[in-house]
């Protein structure tokens, strides 16, 4: 059964007796009552055998956890209030003072800031590795290395890493690997099957799809690894609100439809940009010749509706800003995977040293609008470049 559509829609849920509706109820509670002291003493919050306290889960959040785990091909899932909180949770659960974590050079920016500041304060060091070079990662792993983060495709510059090779290095060297699977969304490839130990996702993006919920997930297959993460989750007091879980449960069955729709529009517009004389390079892993295209093809046929465009260096940042400001349907704003197409210009020199490309980069997040309308908007805004 296809795990990102049919299996999600027919995922087991036991409705209250006498109310045979497949939609999951919105259960809200801090207190969960126990029948007697024996029930109180025998309660087990570690396994999903029952309910103990609202923060530890309700029927609504347990069901969402089970469905996200099924989508990712994992066995366990914990939910946290944002994608970034999911990254922080994994780091805090697995790293101790003196440990080192390795991050890809094109890692999601706030993840690197977390390492540079919070992890550094706890005596945890980090280094950046080249995600295109698995042999270089193998050479970097040292006795202090306890965790390797992987991201496919990389943030903003969109290189698809040697995912198969990187995860094999981690497994061969016995280092726990965690993948930020926000781009793949459990749809583009099966991260666990490729060897990831931990699969994290910003549910804020495709699984929500509405641009109205912030949430993150951390999935595992291994029971002991899950228990470490679950213990840290509990000690930190993390949890998610029932109404947010409800929104996720409602949008989850259409995630794959929306993903593939944005993919089709994104590829059409990325190819259109390739023909434009104003553009030096289009960074989209599904395009021939794009960085990491062969790596992407080795494990996937689908892609998120997300790509970046490097403008020809004859256009300065101020000119590219005029192009961005001239867009009408593409709105300026962070995050992605909602119904509205978004655009953000990035200063590569500030993001990464050395800057991987000369010229100004603009990232496009493709929403659910009509492709011809979006193309017309891009075309009219390119007129502002020349002026
Ligand atoms: C958005 C995003 C996150 C963080 O998600 P939030 O819910 O916004 O905190 C993490 N990783 C990637 C790759 C993202 O795009």
Q: Where are the domains of the chain?
A: 37-43+50-253, 255-386
For the stretch 222-239, pLDDT in tens is 999 999 999 999 999 999
CATH 3.10.450.50 corresponds to the domain 37-43+50-253: no
Mutate to test the pocket of ligand 1, among 104, 108, 153 (most ligand atoms within 8 A of CB): 108
> Quick one: pLDDT at residue 63?
97
Cis peptide before 96 (omega within 30 of 0): no
Measuring CA to CA, how many Å separate 20 from each of 26, 242, 347?
Answer: 15, 21, 54
- CB-ligand 1 contact for 82 (6 Å cutoff): yes
CA 75 to centroid of ligand 1, rounded, Å: 22
CA 90 to centroid of ligand 1, rounded, Å: 14
- CB-ligand 1 contact for 206 (6 Å cutoff): no
Mutate to test the pocket of ligand 1, among 79, 85, 104, 110 (most ligand atoms within 8 A of CB): 110
Which residue's CA is the nearest one to ligand 1's atom 6?
A: 83
Q: How far apart are CA 185 and CA 83, in angstroms?
A: 12
> Quick one: pLDDT at residue 78?
98
CA 102 to centroid of ligand 1, rounded, Å: 18
Full 3-state SS string of 65-134:
HHHHHHHHCCCEEEEECCHHHHHHHHHHHHCCCCCEEEEECCCCHHHHHHHHHHHHHCCCEEEEECCCCH
CA 84 to centroid of ligand 1, rounded, Å: 6
154 Rama sector, left if φ>0, alpha if ψ -120 to 50, beta otherwise: beta
- Divide the 387 residues of the chain into consecutive groups of 10 and give the mean pLDDT of each group: 93 89 94 95 84 94 97 98 98 98 97 98 98 97 98 96 97 98 98 98 98 97 97 96 98 98 98 97 96 96 98 93 97 96 88 75 97 98 87
For the stretch 131-177, pLDDT in tens is 999 999 999 999 999 999 999 999 999 999 999 999 999 999 999 99
CA 151 to centroid of ligand 1, rounded, Å: 11
- CB-ligand 1 contact for 216 (6 Å cutoff): yes
Q: How far apart are CA 282 and CA 284, in angstroms?
A: 6
Helix axes of 242-251 and 59-72: crossing angle, nearest 10 degrees? 40
Beta bridge partners of 312: none
- CB-ligand 1 contact for 83 (6 Å cutoff): yes
What H or E segment, with its residue span, contains residue 146? strand 145-151
Q: With contact defined as beta carbons under 8 Å apart, do 231 and 242 qualify?
A: no
CA 43 to centroid of ligand 1, rounded, Å: 35
Which residue, among 147, 152, 125, 122, has the nearest Cα to 137 in the 3D structure?
147
> Quick one: pLDDT at residue 110?
97
> Quick one: pLDDT at residue 47?
81
CA 181 to centroid of ligand 1, rounded, Å: 10
Pick the CATH number of 255-386 from 3.40.190.10, 3.20.20.80, 3.90.1150.10, 3.40.50.720: 3.90.1150.10
Beta bridge partners of 180: 151, 200
Q: How far apart are CA 232 and CA 14, in angstroms?
A: 29
CA 205 to ligand 1: nearest atom = 1
- CB-ligand 1 contact for 201 (6 Å cutoff): no
């Amino acid at each position: 059964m296809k795990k990102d559509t049919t299996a999600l829609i027919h995922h087991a849920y036991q409705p209250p007796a006498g109310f045979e509706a497949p939609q999951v109820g919105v259960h809200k509670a801090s207190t969960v009552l126990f029948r007697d002291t024996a029930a109180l003493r025998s309660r087990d919050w570690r396994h999903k055998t029952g309910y103990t306290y609202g923060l530890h889960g309700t029927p609504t959040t347990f069901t969402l956890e089970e469905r996200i785990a099924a989508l990712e091909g994992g066995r366990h899932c914990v939910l946290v209030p944002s994608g970034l909180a999911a990254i922080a949770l994994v780091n805090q659960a697995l790293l101790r003072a003196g440990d080192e974590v390795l991050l890809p050079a094109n890692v999601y920016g706030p993840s690197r800031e977390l390492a540079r500041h919070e992890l550094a304060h706890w005596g945890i060091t980090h280094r950046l590795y080249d995600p295109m070079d698995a042999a270089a990662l193998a050479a970097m792993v040292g006795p202090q290395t306890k965790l390797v983060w992987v991201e496919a495709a990389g943030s903003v510059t969109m290189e698809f890493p040697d995912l198969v090779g990187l995860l094999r290095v981690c497994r061969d060297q016995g280092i726990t690997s965690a993948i930020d699977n926000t781009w793949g969304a459990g749809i583009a490839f099966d991260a666990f099957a490729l060897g990831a130990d931990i699969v994290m996702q910003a549910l804020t993006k495709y699984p929500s799809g509405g641009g109205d919920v912030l949430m993150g997930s951390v999935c595992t297959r291994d029971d002991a690894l899950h228990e470490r993460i679950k213990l840290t989750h509990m000690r930190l007091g993390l949890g998610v609100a029932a109404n947010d879980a409800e929104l996720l449960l409602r949008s989850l069955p259409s995630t794959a439809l929306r993903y593939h729709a944005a993919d089709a529009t994104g590829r059409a517009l990325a190819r259109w940009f390739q023909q434009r004389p104003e553009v030096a390079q289009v960074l989209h892993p599904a395009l021939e010749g794009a960085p990491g295209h062969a790596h992407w093809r080795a494990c996937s046929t689908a892609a998120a509706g997300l790509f970046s465009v490097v403008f020809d260096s004859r256009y300065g940042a101020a000119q590219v800003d005029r192009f961005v400001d001239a867009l009408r349907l593409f709105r300026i704003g962070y995050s992605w995977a909602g119904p509205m197409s978004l655009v953000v210009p990035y200063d590569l020199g500030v993001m990464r040293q050395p800057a991987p490309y000369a010229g100004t980069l603009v990232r496009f997040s493709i929403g659910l609008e009509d492709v011809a309308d979006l193309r017309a908007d891009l075309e009219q805004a390119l007129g502002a470049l020349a002026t």
